[in-house]
C-alpha cells in the first residue's frame, strides 16, 4: 500500500514529534528479524534494465563509484582535473569493487555555477572513452542536459543520472531513443537555491509523492518501469534532519517497485551527527551504507568504494539481512 492511504502515519512509522527516526527503524528491524529481503520488502525491485544489459539487485547493495571530472565538486572537485587522472581514478574504483561508474562534468554542490553543454562534454567525453576501453562496467552520465546525455549514450553510456528527475521532455526523448536506464532524483529548488531554506511538512511523504509522480510520468512517456531507478536526493534541498529522516525511512520507498539509489557519501549531515566538521567522513559513510543495506536499498553512490564494500561484506558475514553468519573458508 502506497503513502497517502490510511496506513501511512508519517515519516518514520508515525513517531511523535522529536523522536528519533533512526531509532524507529532499528526497533522495527530488531523486533521483526528479516528472513529475506523478498519477505520483508515484497515490492522491492530485483533487477534494473539498462541500455545493453540488466543488473541483478541482490541483498548486497551495488556500489556506484563517483568519477567527478570537475574543478569544483563538493568533496573531490579539482582532484582529477585532467582526463587521464579521472580515468585512473575510475579504474581505481573498479579495482576497489565498484559495480557502476558515475561520470559527471558539472558540479551540483550548493551554490555551484552552471556550465554549458559544450564545456561539460569536453570534460566527460575523454573520460568515458578511456573508461570504455579499459573496463566493461556500466557507465552512468550524471547530467541535467539532454545534449550531454545523447552524446554520451552514443559513446556507450548505459545510464542517465539526472538530478532534476528528467524534468526536461527532451531528456525523456533521449532516454527513450537510446534505451537507457534512468535515475530520477528528488531536489527541492536548484543547486543555486536548494540550501537557502529547505522546508517540508513531512519530508518522507513529500519526497515519496514526488518520486511516485516522476515514475508515473516517465512510464506514461514510454519508459518502462524496469528501466527507472529513483533517488531520494540526500543533500539536495534538505536540512541535516531531513537527510537523516529520509535515510531512516528508505525502506518505505520500496513500495514504488523501482530500484533505490542513495547518495550519502561524505555529505554534511554526517559531520552534524558526529558533531565534528573536521572528522573524516568515509568511515561514517560506510556505517550509513550498512544501515541502507539493512533496509534493502539496491544501489549506493559513494566516493570510497573499498571502505564501503568492506563494511558491507562484514555486515553480510555477520548476519546481514537473513541473520545467518557466513561460513568462512579454512
Q: Please tell me which residue in 212, 215, 238, 267 is annotated as part of the active site.
A: 267
Nearest to 300 by CA among 256, 274, 267: 267
Catalytic residue at 267? yes
User: Quick one: three-class SS letters along 223-281?
Assistant: CCHHHEEEECCCCCCCCHHHHHHHHHCHHHHHHHCCCEEECCCCCHHHHHHHCCCCCCC
3-state secondary structure of 301: strand
* Diameter over CA atoms, the chain: 56
Are 262 and 285 within 8 A, CB to CB?
Answer: no
Q: DSSP readout, 101-115?
A: EEEESS--STTPPP-
Catalytic status, residue 123: no
* Catalytic annotation, pick one of 125, 150, 215, 301: 301
CA 134, 137, 141, 146 torsion: positive or negative?
positive
Put residue 47 in one of left, alpha, beta given phi > 0 → left and psi -120 to 50 → alpha. beta
Gap between the Cα atoms of 160 and 174, Å rounded:
9
Question: Which residues participate in catalysis according to the annotation?
Answer: 267, 301
Amino acid at each position: 500500500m502506497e503513502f497517502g492511504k490510511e496506513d501511512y502515519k508519517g515519516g518514520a512509522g508515525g513517531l511523535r514529534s522529536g523522536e528519533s527516526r533512526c531509532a524507529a527503524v532499528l526497533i522495527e528491524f530488531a523486533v521483526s528479524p528479516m528472513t529475506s529481503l523478498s519477505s520483508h520488502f515484497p515490492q522491492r525491485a530485483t533487477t534494473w534494465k539498462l541500455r545493453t544489459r540488466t543488473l541483478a539487485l541482490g541483498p548486497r547493495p551495488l556500489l556506484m563509484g563517483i568519477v567527478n571530472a570537475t574543478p569544483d565538486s563538493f568533496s573531490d572537485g579539482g582532484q582529477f582535473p585532467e582526463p587521464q587522472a579521472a580515468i585512473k581514478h575510475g579504474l581505481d574504483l573498479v579495482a576497489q569493487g565498484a559495480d557502476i561508474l558515475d561520470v559527471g562534468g558539472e558540479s551540483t554542490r550548493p551554490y555551484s555555477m552552471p556550465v554549458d553543454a559544450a564545456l561539460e562534454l569536453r570534460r566527460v567525453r575523454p573520460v568515458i572513452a578511456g573508461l570504455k576501453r579499459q573496463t566493461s562496467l556500466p557507465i552512468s552520465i550524471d547530467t541535467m542536459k539532454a545534449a550531454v546525455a545523447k552524446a554520451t549514450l552514443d559513446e556507450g553510456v548505459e545510464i542517465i543520472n539526472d538530478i532534476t528527475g528528467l524534468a526536461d521532455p527532451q531528456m525523456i526523448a533521449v532516454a527513450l531513443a537510446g534505451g537507457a536506464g534512468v535515475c530520477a532524483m528528488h531536489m527541492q529548488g536548484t543547486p543555486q537555491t536548494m540550501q537557502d531554506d529547505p522546508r517540508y511538512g513531512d519530508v518522507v511523504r513529500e519526497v515519496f509523492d514526488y518520486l511516485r509522480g516522476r515514475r508515473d510520468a516517465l512510464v506514461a512517456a514510454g519508459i518502462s518501469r524496469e528501466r527507472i531507478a529513483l533517488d531520494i536526493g540526500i543533500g539536495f534541498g534538505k536540512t541535516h534532519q531531513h537527510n537523516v529522516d529520509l535515510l531512516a525511512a528508505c525502506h518505505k520507498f520500496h513500495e514504488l517497485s523501482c530500484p533505490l539509489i542513495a547518495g550519502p557519501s561524505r555529505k554534511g549531515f554526517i559531520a552534524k551527527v558526529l558533531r565534528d566538521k573536521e572528522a573524516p567522513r568515509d568511515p561514517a559513510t560506510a556505517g550509513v551504507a550498512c544501515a541502507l543495506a539493512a533496509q534493502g536499498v539496491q544501489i549506493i553512490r559513494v566516493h570510497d568504494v573499498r571502505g564501503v564494500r568492506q563494511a558491507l561484506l562484514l555486515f553480510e558475514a555477520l548476519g546481514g539481512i537473513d541473520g545467518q553468519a557466513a561460513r568462512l573458508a579454512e
